Amino acid sequence: MPNLLAAGGAMLWIILFTGAVGIVVFIERFLHCHRAQINSTEFLNGVRTVIKRENVVEALSICDATPGPVARLVKTAILTRDQGRERVREAIEDAGRTEVPRLEEKLDLLATIAQLAPLLGLLGTVIGFIKVFYKLQEHTLNANVGMLSEGVWQAMICAAAGLAVAIPTHAAYNYLVNRVNSIVLDMERAATEIVNIVTESNGAKPA
């Protein structure tokens, strides 16, 4: 392994660095999504039960104790419940516009790494073959396999490393996008339901 790392040249280390960044970003985003995704149905049922008893303080406490954007949207709706249905909807929409970018944070970096890694690998490959042709030009008929092998090794290692980083990074990006979309869908469902819950508790007709 140390010999392969040495043979890959400086470009290999750049590719490995981008791969390490991708791993760190994926782990951080995975944990963030794991904390953000809750059982919204069970959570809303608990909030509905408390609000029906007109215990707003307990409902807010449940929201504060529950992580994730769904709980924060519900808390926003509860705090604006006395301002009418339209105002509740507007407050939830404003809160949602704040929450979605938090969920999507750093995903563009992961996508960039997935696109950049094979290009870095290709650049390393080209540099490797430049070394090969330079040796050929320098030694002409006296060139042997040993002289050319350094450039060929660099070309192959960099190409393989670029693909090895790009493929799992692309898969990780798609996985996180699906997780984010699932959370956003939960947010939309919860927003519709909490509007009805808080307006019903104030005697308004549900939509």
Q: Render each residue's pLDDT in the chain as its tens digit; 207 residues.
A: 677 667 778 889 999 999 999 999 999 999 999 998 888 889 999 998 888 888 889 989 999 999 999 999 999 998 888 888 888 899 999 999 999 999 999 999 999 999 999 999 999 999 988 888 877 777 666 666 666 677 888 889 999 999 999 999 999 999 999 999 999 999 999 998 988 888 876 654 443
Q: Tokens in use for 6?
A: 């040495």
| pTM score above 0.95 | no
Measured CA to CA, the distance from residue 171 to residue 81 in angstroms comes to 42
Considering the domain boundaries, does residue 55 fall inside one?
A: yes
pLDDT at 145: 65
Measured CA to CA, the distance from residue 31 to residue 18 in angstroms comes to 20
pLDDT at 201: 65
Considering the domain boundaries, does residue 44 fall inside one?
A: yes
Q: Which residues constitute the domain of residue 52?
A: 2-114+167-201
Task: Burial-class residue 92 by CB neighbours within 10 Å (0-12, 13-18, 19+).
Answer: buried
Considering the domain boundaries, does residue 146 fall inside one?
A: no
Considering the domain boundaries, does residue 157 fall inside one?
A: no
Query: What total of structural domains would you count in the chain?
Result: 1
Nearest to 62, CA basis, from 36, 42, 33, 34? 42
CA 171-177-183 angle, to 5 degrees, is 140
